[in-house]
Amino acid sequence: MNKFYLTTAIDYVNGKPHIGHAYEKILCDVICRHFSQRTDDVYFLTGTDEHGIKIQKTAAANNMTPQQLCDENSSAFQQTWKDLSIEYTDFIRTTQERHVKAVQKIFKKLVENGDIYKHSYKGLYCSGCESFLNQRDLTEDGLCPDHLKKPEEVTEENYFFRLTKYKDAIIKHIKENPNFIQPEFRVNEVLRQLEDIEDISVSRNKNSVSWGIPVPDDEEQVIYVWIDALSNYITALGYDTDNPSETFKKYWPANVQVIGKDILKFHSIYWIAILMSLGVELPQTICAHGWITIDETKMSKSLGNVIAPADILKAFELTEPDALRYYMVTSAPFGRDGNYSDNDFKEKVNADLANNIGNLLNRSLNMLVKYFDGEIKPEFIVDGNDIEKAGDETVEKVKNFFDGYQVAEAANAIVEFSNTVNKYVADNAPWTLAKEEKMTECGIVIYNVLEAMRKIAVMLYPYCPKISSKIFTQLSADKNLKYDEITANKLQTGKITEKEKISPVFPRMDSEFAADKKKAK
């Protein structure tokens, strides 16, 4: 693998970040950290979407300019990602000059290619979706299915993109590239949507929406979200219709573009048609994740159950974000919806991180100190044992899961292996072997467990970088190994630890948050 380029959806800044936003960004950070163990060249792009009517209205309601609102909320997103140990390469804002200029050039190129035309239009517009809807898209009561509000009837003369021109080419690409849309069960959904697509509006009249990028050569119109927001994936790399940057040439096409299931249509159809018109290579994979609910209820401002990641960290007195990172990305199978609840959060991280992995490490290191003064002796290392084989198999299994972006499934494999190691300890009882003065046999068991813990730390690093770092330190192990080197390396002989170095890498949690919030209402 020469390079790995991942993009997230860019978050709309008419509000502050919540755990739905956090789920996607943590998921992407975990994927990028894993692939950073396999290549030195990972590019991770995220950012904020900063134009449109909702921002215009929210800013006015708060006596702010749209730019002030964008600056404030974009900063809140960036701070939240820092608090969650999300290490992106670039953070693009659609109000940045680099993006604005590139988008205007893209618009002009699409016009030159004959794919944009002006047209008078009468349609149903949902301000929540910032999208025109067809009658067939609405509920029986004539409401937007996502926002449960009646769209307004709008009559405008806008610029339209010839989406229908690319219908057959998109269908052909999807059918010929089985990994293009993931998870696979989303493919038929997209193909059904393609059956009755129409050309799409790609501008709005300034009388309706003034906060946006001006259409080149037409000051009465602003560029609409499809060309503006979607283009960030290439404008951030320095795409230019005349002279693309070396960064763009190096990293595009994206290896994977991770987005929520609600915007799959726009990425797998609209975005792809735009790229086809521009003559730009298509991304390798578009991966659609599910939603995060709160106690099995969809997040909603009106229900008062929108939760900020910072509030969870504070309520549970977590000084490090690893527990929340781990829980969020393991709460949903690949592409499915997940759920947040206090009890599940506590039970899962206590079981997997504190009791299972953390306690296993703590007990084993204490036995190494108690019986061998923290020293691994050469006779403890016996190649080809069952735990070593199980570890090597798990390393390969986790790698295969990540190749398909199945992050929760990879984590489950790691936990299953730690369960196997715990059972190995119980079955072989090194404390009994020591009591019987079978010290070499006792040392072999302890070494096998600690070597397994080293592999677990490497595999767990993308999820829990701080916890993994503590494990590496307590094992005196090399934390800079590449993934393909995990099985070839081993813990070295000699003194690796002492009593003063050993401490729980993850203490048990015991607190409430969402439940208290509901009681207080």
With pLDDT > 90 as the criterion, what percentage of the chain qualifies?
A: 82
Element (H, E) at 449: helix 439-460
> Residue 300 has what pLDDT?
64
**pLDDT class of 297 with cuts at 50, 70, 90:** confident
> Which is the catalytic residue, given 144, 287, 442, 464?
144
The string of DSSP letters for 33-56 reads: HHHHTT-S-EEEEEEEE--SHHHH
With pLDDT > 70 as the criterion, what percentage of the chain qualifies?
A: 96
Closest CA relative to residue 352, chosen from 412, 397, 393, 425: 412
101 as an active site residue: the answer is no
Average pLDDT over residues 96-113: 98
> Which is the catalytic residue, given 28, 126, 287, 442?
126
Q: What does the block give as tokens for 382?
A: 């016996």
Computed over every residue of the chain, the mean pLDDT equals 93
298 as an active site residue: the answer is yes
Question: Model confidence over 206-259: pLDDT tens digits?
Answer: 998 999 999 999 999 999 999 999 999 999 999 999 999 999 999 999 999 999
CA distance 411 to 313: 21
Confidence check: pLDDT of 381 > 50: yes
Least confident of 258-267, 296-305, 497-506: 296-305
> Residue 294 has what pLDDT?
86
Confidence check: pLDDT of 520 > 70: no
> Residue 228 has what pLDDT?
98
Closest CA relative to residue 517, chosen from 14, 18, 21: 18
> Which is the catalytic residue, given 28, 70, 129, 287?
129
What type of residue is 265? K
Per the model's pLDDT, the better-predicted residue between 133 and 383 turns out to be 383
**pLDDT class of 152 with cuts at 50, 70, 90:** confident
Q: If DSSP codes are grouped into helix, strand and coil, which group holds residue 472?
A: helix
Q: If DSSP codes are grouped into helix, strand and coil, which group holds residue 492?
A: coil
Confidence check: pLDDT of 145 > 90: no
Closest CA relative to residue 152, chosen from 116, 179, 123, 173: 123
CA distance 51 to 223: 9
Q: Which CATH code fits 342-501?
A: 1.10.730.10
> Residue 120 has what pLDDT?
86
Residue 392, number of CB atoms within 10 A of its CB: 13
Average pLDDT over residues 56-68: 96
**pLDDT class of 512 with cuts at 50, 70, 90:** very low
Residue 433, number of CB atoms within 10 A of its CB: 19
> Which is the catalytic residue, given 82, 149, 249, 298?
298
> Residue 446 has what pLDDT?
98
Tell me the CB-side half-sphere exposure of residue 218, using CA atoms within 13 A.
19
Closest CA relative to residue 183, chosen from 61, 321, 289: 289
> Residue 165 has what pLDDT?
98
DSSP label at residue 68: H
Per the model's pLDDT, the better-predicted residue between 56 and 144 turns out to be 56
> Residue 210 has what pLDDT?
94
Tokens 């296993």: give the residue: 360
CA distance 82 to 309: 11
> Which is the catalytic residue, given 82, 147, 175, 249?
147
301 as an active site residue: the answer is yes
* Cβ atoms 446, 497 nearer than 8 A: no
* Strand 131-133 with 116-126, pairing: antiparallel
Question: Model confidence over 471-508: pLDDT tens digits?
Answer: 999 999 988 888 989 988 899 899 999 999 999 999 88
Average pLDDT over residues 19-37: 97
147 as an active site residue: the answer is yes
206 as an active site residue: the answer is no
CA distance 506 to 509: 9
CA distance 480 to 159: 52
Domain residue limits, the chain: 342-501
Could you tell me the pTM of the whole model? 0.92
